[in-house]
Amino acid sequence: MNIVVTGAQWGDEGKGKIVDFLAADASVIVRFSGGANAGHTIVLGGDRYALHLVPSGILYPDKIVILGSGMVIDPEALFSELAGLEKKGIDWLGRVLISDRAHLVLPSYRRVDKELEQKRARPIGTTGRGIGVAYAMKAYRDGIRIADLMDEDRLVNLEAEDRAFVEAWRDRLSPMSVDLVAYLRSHRNAYTLFEGAQGALLDIDTGTYPFVSSGMSCSAGAAAQGGIGPRRIDRVLGVFKAYSTRVGNGPFPTEFADDSPGSLSSYIRDTGNEYGVTTGRPRRCGYLDLVALRYAVAANSIDRLVLTHLDVYDELAEFEACIAYRIRGRLVEDFPTSIRDLEDAEPVLRKFSGWKESIAACTSFDELPRKARDYVAFIEEYVETPITVVSVGSDRGQTIVRESPWTRS
């Protein structure tokens, strides 16, 4: 069975935790897009693991994790991450494979990424990791894939610095290389998880372009770049938070206007630990945007939702969620494409009463306070999609499963 886990907002929805949780029942985990711009956090027995390139199944000793064809890989970042895991006692040798179709991020890409960003009248707020340049070089047909590492014809046009970089890393990368399509064909009966990075609204096609990342972070990315085709996907899980966050620039209709100390915005940021795993940047915060979520569900054919960070609302007496936009006086219920429309969108908010108690120890949906269940039910009805997993804390165990995602429907 094949499950795709995709972010249904602007990234940072808690995909790392959910992939780690679901990986207990998988044997192969394939990350299909993005690069070291991503930051996936997993908390296990009080230890916190920050992953950027390595798929989130790595913490189990017996899982194979594969960096997929849609990824752009900076070997320096990869091997420093692997060394960090090794220090924490994680044995990765032989378990971390890289699709031979994945592309490299070279030193000049990182430099150009920063230069381009400096020249933009309206910067995107990139992570500066060379991601956009790597995808652009791929589209130009000048990128270097893992399969090209030993092919002198492919390397001949590289700048000296990039060439030296490739030569320095290729002996370590090559043994990890795998033909992903052939691997998954021969493991077609394995339970496989396809892990997305970023989120639907940061996808190059479905996101808030140009304020997006450059990879395919929508669920279709798993089919194009995960080594399988669309008909092999059995389930698309969309992960979203009880509220919204965004890091970097770009439109964010429900963003809180007041971000001063003591404001709701800073309360949510601190309670939810909303600081970038990769850059440390404070994330912008706002109420849940159901217009955006419904769009993400449709654009990704999400058939089950996973709600995370519900516990962040534990102490609030009341909160709101956005059910429509008012754009220059017009009521809009579909997520607009135009950046100007999104920037002019004023959220139409619906109030909810808070539950004012800790849900961190709840282990079943019925144990959740009535008001928390009401919030869940409202979201399900609005987006016409069941929420089958609810996360009530950062630890692997703090996960309520109403229906196992591995159950075929």
**Smaller CB separation from ligand IMP, 126 or 244:** 126
Q: Per CB under 6 A, does 53 bind ligand IMP? A: no
Task: Supply angle C-alpha 76, 94, 80, rounded to 5.
Answer: 20
The distance of closest approach from Cβ of residue 119 to ligand IMP in the complex, given in angstroms and rounded to an integer, is 15
Residue 12 a catalytic site member: yes
Out of 20, 40, 100, 203, which one is annotated catalytic? 40
Q: Give the DSSP H or E segment for 296.
A: helix 290-300
Nearest CA-CA partner of 347 in 291, 293, 283, 265? 291
Cβ neighbours around 26 below 10 Å, total: 23
The distance of closest approach from Cβ of residue 105 to ligand IMP in the complex, given in angstroms and rounded to an integer, is 11
DSSP 8-state class, residue 105: P
For 230, the token pair is 């669309």
Q: Per CB under 6 A, does 210 bind ligand IMP? A: no
Residue 40 a catalytic site member: yes
**Smaller CB separation from ligand IMP, 113 or 303:** 113
Q: Per CB under 6 A, does 129 bind ligand IMP? A: yes
Pick from 9, 69, 192, 198 the residue near ligand IMP by CB under 6 A.
Answer: 198
Q: Per CB under 6 A, does 98 bind ligand IMP? A: no
DSSP 8-state class, residue 307: E
**DSSP conformation letters of 168-189:** HHHHHHGGGEE-HHHHHHHTTT
Nearest CA-CA partner of 135 in 161, 104, 168, 164? 104
Pick from 42, 247, 285, 312 the residue near ligand IMP by CB under 6 A.
Answer: 247
Q: Which stretch binds ligand IMP (CB under 6 A): 36-44, 152-160, 294-302, 374-382?
A: 36-44
Does 123 sit behind a cis peptide bond, omega within 30 degrees of 0 on the bond before it? no
**Smaller CB separation from ligand IMP, 250 or 400:** 250
Pick from 16, 227, 248, 393 the residue near ligand IMP by CB under 6 A.
Answer: 248
The distance of closest approach from Cβ of residue 125 to ligand IMP in the complex, given in angstroms and rounded to an integer, is 4
What binding mask, one character per residue, do residues 132-161 give for ligand IMP by CB under 6 A, x or -? x-----------------------------
**Smaller CB separation from ligand IMP, 16 or 336:** 16
Q: Give the DSSP H or E segment for 84.
A: helix 75-87
Q: Per CB under 6 A, does 19 bind ligand IMP? A: no
Question: 339 in helix, strand or coil?
Answer: helix
Q: Among all chains, which residue has been given the structure tokens 């996936």? A: 40
The distance of closest approach from Cβ of residue 175 to ligand IMP in the complex, given in angstroms and rounded to an integer, is 28
**Smaller CB separation from ligand IMP, 132 or 226:** 132
Distance CA 146, CA 130 (A): 17
| Residues 106, 165 contacting (CB under 8 angstroms) | yes
**Smaller CB separation from ligand IMP, 250 or 375:** 250
Pick from 38, 98, 193, 222 the residue near ligand IMP by CB under 6 A.
Answer: 38
Q: Give the DSSP H or E segment for 76.
A: helix 75-87
Distance CA 383, CA 294 (A): 5
Q: Per CB under 6 A, does 39 bind ligand IMP? A: yes
Q: Give the helix ranges, DSSP H, for 10-74.
A: 15-22
Distance CA 400, CA 402 (A): 6
Binding site for ligand IMP (CB under 6 A): 11-12, 37-39, 124-127, 129, 131-132, 197-198, 202, 213-214, 247-248
Give catalytic residues, as residue numbers.
12, 40
